[in-house]
Structure 1
């Protein structure tokens, strides 16, 4: 994936998991602390590399390390489909780089790099109001469905692209 003068990307490999896991842990724990008042929390394996190995290294995903001014700050996992209905699996940044417009800049680069996309689809927990703000107000997604995931709501978001 092509970047710009501040942001660059490299394909995620097994060797990156050790460096990315603490970043992912800080990102998810920060969100959990803000929204749920708990010190730790995230999807299974978010804090030990299992999540990244399962999804970031999955044969069908396109996962990239994210660098800001040469420093590793997070990662993004995309599922690029033949029909143009692509899926954002996850994006995370080290909390010290959040709320600075970097995530929005990253998303603009994703759209530029995958300009043949017809629709982007993603999901996020109902409790994560910062994620809702990012996806809806910064990136242009629309909430299309709320699913009950057995104890928490999962927000399904989509962004129709005009090609």
Structure 2
């Protein structure tokens, strides 16, 4: 256990709580960096995204407990050639500035020691995420994606 943090498999009973946290986390990030008050990936605010991520057999989805309170979650999946993907990481905005994101990432790296490369994708506008992945976790910006709806995201990579 790292500084009162426990990581545990997500179960169906967690979906409602995690959807609430995910909704607040994405909406805070969106309102901080755009003119919108709320936005996020499809299904982030109705429970379908956390369900989809957790029930995909290729994924490993874990909830983050801090002092026995659920405060976030992450989802990992393994690709080819020892490349891993951080599909989702979110922390309750009420628990920001406690280094929970950084401590979670340290846990992920320790858990997945066989990884030779990590990839993560985050919205173009999300400057706080860019800083976190670059400065706190050691990722480098390697590309960008533009989706059909015009939304743009940045791809970050970390190699070992």
Normalised TM-score (structure 1): 0.93
Q: 1:135 aligns with which of 133, 153, 158?
A: 133
User: Residue 83 of structure 1 corresponds to which residue in structure 2?
Assistant: 81
Partner of residue 17, structure 2: 19
Q: Hey, what's the Cα distance between the residues in 2 that align with 1:35 and 1:29?
A: 10
Q: Output aligned runs, 1:37-76, within 5 Å.
A: 37-76=35-74
For 1:148 and 1:82, locate their aligned partners in 2 and report how far apart those are by CA, in whole Å: 23
> Which residue, 101, 104, 108 being the options, matches 2:102?
104
Give the paired residue count.
159
- 2: CA distance, partners of 1:26 / 1:51: 14
1:54-100 alpha-carbon deviations (Å, 9 max, x no partner)? 11221110000100111100100000246310000010010011232
Q: Structure 1: where are the runs of 5+ without partners?
A: none
Q: Which stretches of structure 1, 4 residues or more, deviate above 6 A after TM superposition? A: none
Q: Distance in 2 between matches of 1:101 and 1:137?
A: 13
Return the TM-score normalized by structure 2: 0.95
Q: How far off its partner does 1:119 sit?
A: 0.4
Alpha-carbon contact 1:24-1:93 (below 8 Å) kept: yes
Please tell me whether residue 153 in structure 1 is matched to residue 142 in structure 2.
no
Moved more, 39-48 or 78-87: 78-87
Task: Give the secondary-structure state (helix, strand or coil) at the position aligned to 2:24.
Answer: helix
Distance in 1 (CA, whole Å) between partners of 2:59 and 2:145 is: 24
